[in-house]
């Protein structure tokens, strides 16, 4: 699903202007059927204002300590099945190329489980999903629910039949 992104900024005279108005395509991956990742905006440093509204450089999926990301992700329903004849090596390379840094936080021996040095603010737009923590504790989330994820080990599940769409703001943090 494409999503519209409108960006504002200031011109040379300090006047507020619309810098861009465009559709953002999701990143989809063979390894994660039914998932979509929209990367709307992000940066790896403190934003200085005023700004011309040009998109900052944010080369990795998760930000460093002074960075941030704004996006949306869709968790496909449990009925989505991985294709049997997938070229795993090519699919992993595609994953790393399209969502740099994400595979580095994923646990190879525990699919989906991951930990990041970030504080994540999630809002469930539609559907339902389950957030699981490292001890197996789970919470069911529905449209309108929010989560503040404080750098904990976790994974997402969609055990239903409809996609679950979440908006996310990720803020880089320092782990002690």
What values do phi and psi take at 21, rounded to 5? Answer: -150, 105
Residue-wise pLDDT tens digits, 7-43? 999 999 999 999 999 999 999 998 888 999 999 999 9
Rounded to 10 degrees, the C-alpha dihedral 162/167/168/169 comes to 180
CATH classification of 3-172 is 2.130.10.10, yes or no?
A: no
**In the chain, domain spans:** 3-172
- Give the per-residue pLDDT at 141: 98
Residue-wise pLDDT tens digits, 142-170? 999 999 999 999 999 999 999 999 999 99
CB-based contact 91:84 (threshold 8 Å): no
Phi-psi region of 135 (alpha: psi -120 to 50; beta: other; left: phi over 0): alpha
CB-based contact 121:169 (threshold 8 Å): yes
CB-based contact 115:102 (threshold 8 Å): no
CB-based contact 28:35 (threshold 8 Å): yes
Average pLDDT, the chain: 94
């Amino acid at each position: 699903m494409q999503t519209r992104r409108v960006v504002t900024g200031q011109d040379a005279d300090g006047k507020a202007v619309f810098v861009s108005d465009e559709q953002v395509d999701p990143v989809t991956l063979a390894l994660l059927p039914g998932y979509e990742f929209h990367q709307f905006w992000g940066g790896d440093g403190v934003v200085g204002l005023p700004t011309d509204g040009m998109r900052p450089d944010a080369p990795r999926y998760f930000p460093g300590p002074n960075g941030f990301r704004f996006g949306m992700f869709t968790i496909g329903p449990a009925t989505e099945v991985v294709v049997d004849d997938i070229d795993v090596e090519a699919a992993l390379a595609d994953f790393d190329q399209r969502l740099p840094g994400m595979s580095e936080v994923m646990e190879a021996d525990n699919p989906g489980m991951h930990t990041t040095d970030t504080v994540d603010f999630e809002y469930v737009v539609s559907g339902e999903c389950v957030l699981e923590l490292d001890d197996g504790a789970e919470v069911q989330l529905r449209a309108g629910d929010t989560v503040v994820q404080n750098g904990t080990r976790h994974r997402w599940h969609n055990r239903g039949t409809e996609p679950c769409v979440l908006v996310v703001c990720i803020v880089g943090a320092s782990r002690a």
